[in-house]
Structure 1
């Protein structure tokens, strides 16, 4: 089952930050697409809920050096 979530992410300042978050999230099994916006401080993720969950997504963002609010 495909689900999507939009999270508020603190600390993204530029396109490089967007790329770091996107690349980290795309390594999570089940993540289908990512759209990160430093301008809006948001990350939208489409994922297969049978393969991953919100905790894994949040952990990947934290591992990339950012915080989820």
Structure 2
């Protein structure tokens, strides 16, 4: 089985505390195929590794936005 692991650096606006970090991490980890999520408050971003065969960047963006944060496009 070949893994189609993809890593994206997603800008996220609206995070201002540790609770925001865990909210974003929990929202993204709820998706299938998520391998790793590293959210940085100081950089206002998340570096996310995922299996592109199981989820998409659009689904990740939607999960972050549904959690209450903005993802500039």
Partner of 2:57 in structure 1? 54
Q: Note the residue ranges of structure 2 that are not aligned, 5 or more in a row.
A: none
User: TM-score of the superposition, structure 1-length normalised?
Assistant: 0.96
Partner of 1:9 in structure 2? 12
Quote how far apart the aligned CAs of 1:39 are.
1.2
More strand per residue: 1
Give the number of the structure whose alpha-carbon radius of gyration is greater.
Answer: 2
Q: Note the residue ranges of structure 1 that are not aligned, 5 or more in a row.
A: none
User: TM-score of the superposition, structure 2-length normalised?
Assistant: 0.91
Q: CA RMSD in A?
A: 0.6
Quote how far apart the aligned CAs of 1:21 are.
0.1
After TM superposition, the structure 1 = structure 2 runs for residues 1-69 of structure 1, keeping only pairs within 5 Å, are 1-69=4-72
Number of positions where the alignment pairs a residue of Structure 1 with one of Structure 2: 69
CA–CA separation in structure 2 for the residues paired with 1:37 and 1:14? 10
CA–CA separation in structure 1 for the residues paired with 2:48 and 2:24? 11
Task: Name segments (4+ residues, structure 1) moved above 3 Å.
Answer: none
